[in-house]
DNA sequence: AAGCTGAACAACCGCAGGGCA
DNA sequence: ATGCCCTGCGGTTGTTCAGCT
């Protein structure tokens, strides 16, 4: 028994959308709202696949789409989020109002990823200016190895998580970060980090204590140390498969913390896979 | 001016997860 | 508990356009 195709592919319009189709889709969604994508084409009178309608709406027709160039700030944020989240474009897009995952993905593949690669191969330059001239020729991208973008990020699975254990080995990172954000010596008083009640060396991060300022500073912090930890402490390589197979590592714990915090505040509630050894205190 | 090349981005495809019967 | 349906996601492909030769 095979999977039911999402639509009958024969006889459906494909390729670029026409202005008429856009108008029909927009009018229909304004009237009936989003959802029921499979039935939408027939209901709206569109000769399109439901998936295609959804994509067109989400990536192009939505009224809150921000069009135009990605700003420098947005680019910096994308880079940092990508260091944390990997190719989780929808989550990254969630932190960039008006930007779609497709847009960010395209932007990454055509712009940032090359910069990151260039930065790795040549540490002399710190932050290259953005490509202003479109169509500027560069070295061929064909046959280039797939960009191993950013740090090795472990994929996660969605579940509710508001608290996270931070290993003793990562405390220096925590302390240095908090020193800068909330001030020296105030770590345990002000930050969302708190010692475990069982007097172990572990710390717990309570996401309920995280405010927007902290998140903002966290996002703009330099995550390079996390990458170093990962490179030293984990099997790197295929980032898509090193999740469940790798042995639990306390270094992983801290690596995950940013991801979980981000996602939690976005109400996407993302936590690591249960068998990664990450100490995540899940809510029910 | 024409052809070529690469950048940009829109769109497609297959898969996975959650919800529901 | 199981299977199906719907939706969303990420990777990939296709198309258009601008700059270069």
pLDDT in tens, A63-72: 888 877 788 8
Largest Cα span, chain A: 68
CA distances from A269 to A207, A224, A261, A262 (A): 11, 25, 9, 9
- What's the pLDDT band for A174 if we cut at 50, 70, 90? low
Q: Name residue A165's beta-bridge partners.
A: A204
Spatial distance between the Cα atoms of A232 and A251, rounded to a whole number of angstroms: 9
* pLDDT for the residue A96: 84
Length of chain A: 284
- What's the pLDDT band for A120 if we cut at 50, 70, 90? low
**Bases of chain C within 7 A of a CB of the protein:** 3-12, 14-20
What Å value separates CA A50 and C1' B10? 16
* pLDDT for the residue A275: 32
What Å value separates CA A209 and C1' C2? 41
Number of helices and strands (H, E) in chain A? 12, 6
* pLDDT for the residue A138: 32
Asked if A156 and A136 count as a contact pair (C-beta separation under 8 A), the reply is no
Spatial distance between the Cα atoms of A85 and A258, rounded to a whole number of angstroms: 9
The more confident residue out of A90 and A215 is A90
What Å value separates CA A133 and C1' B5? 15
- Residue A249: other Cβ atoms inside 10 A: 20
The more confident residue out of A145 and A216 is A216
pLDDT in tens, A238-265: 333 333 333 333 233 333 333 333 333 3
Nucleotide nearest to A2 (CA to C1'): C4
Residue nearest to nucleotide B7 (CA to C1'): A135
Dihedral-angle region of residue A150 (phi above 0 means left; psi in -120 to 50 means alpha; beta otherwise): left
Classify burial at A151, counting beta carbons within 10 Å of its beta carbon; exposed 0-12, middle 13-18, buried 19 or more: buried
- DSSP letter at A270 equals E
Structure tokens at A40: 């939408």
* pLDDT for the residue A175: 62
What Å value separates CA A28 and C1' C16? 29
The more confident residue out of A258 and A16 is A16
Percentage of chain A with pLDDT > 90?
A: 0
Structure tokens at A218: 């966290």
- Is strand B less than 7 A from the beta carbon of A141? yes
* pLDDT for the residue A202: 44
Asked if A99 and A66 count as a contact pair (C-beta separation under 8 A), the reply is yes
- Is strand B less than 7 A from the beta carbon of A6? yes
* pLDDT for the residue A39: 82
Q: CA A19, A20, A21: angle at the middle one, nearest 5?
A: 90
Positions 232-271 in A, CB within 7 angstroms of strand B: none
Structure tokens at A143: 């046959």
Cβ-proximal residues to A262 (8 Å cutoff; 6+ apart), any chain: A81, A84, A85, A91, A95, A215, A219, A270
**Bases of chain B within 7 A of a CB of the protein:** 5-15, 17-18
What Å value separates CA A249 and C1' B3? 56
Q: Does A23 have pLDDT greater than 50?
A: yes
């Amino acid at each position: 028994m095979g999977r039911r195709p999402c639509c009958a592919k024969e006889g459906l319009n494909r390729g670029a959308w026409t202005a008429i189709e856009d108008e029909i889709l927009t009018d229909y969604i304004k009237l009936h709202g989003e959802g029921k994508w499979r039935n939408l084409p027939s209901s709206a009178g569109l000769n399109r696949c439901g998936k295609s309608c959804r994509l067109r709406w989400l990536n192009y027709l939505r009224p809150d789409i921000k069009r135009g160039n990605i700003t420098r700030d947005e680019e910096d944020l994308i880079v940092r989020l990508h260091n944390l989240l990997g190719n989780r474009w929808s989550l990254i897009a969630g932190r960039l109002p008006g930007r779609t995952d497709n847009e960010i993905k395209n932007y990454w593949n055509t712009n940032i990823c090359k910069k990151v690669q260039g930065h790795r191969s040549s540490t002399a330059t710190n932050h290259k200016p953005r490509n202003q001239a479109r169509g500027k020729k560069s070295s061929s991208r064909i046959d280039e190895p797939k960009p191993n973008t950013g740090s090795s990020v472990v994929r996660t699975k969605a579940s509710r998580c508001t608290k996270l254990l931070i290993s003793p080995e990562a405390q220096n990172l925590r302390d240095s970060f908090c020193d800068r954000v909330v001030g020296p010596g105030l770590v345990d008083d002000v930050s969302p980090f708190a010692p475990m009640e069982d007097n172990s060396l572990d710390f717990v991060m309570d996401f309920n204590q995280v405010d927007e300022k902290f998140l903002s500073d966290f996002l703009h912090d330099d995550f390079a140390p996390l990458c170093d930890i990962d490179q030293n402490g984990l099997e790197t390589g295929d980032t898509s498969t090193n999740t469940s197979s790798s042995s639990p590592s306390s270094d992983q714990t801290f690596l995950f913390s940013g991801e979980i915090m981000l996602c939690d505040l976005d109400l996407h509630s993302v936590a690591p896979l249960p068998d990664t050894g990450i100490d995540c205190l899940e809510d029910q």
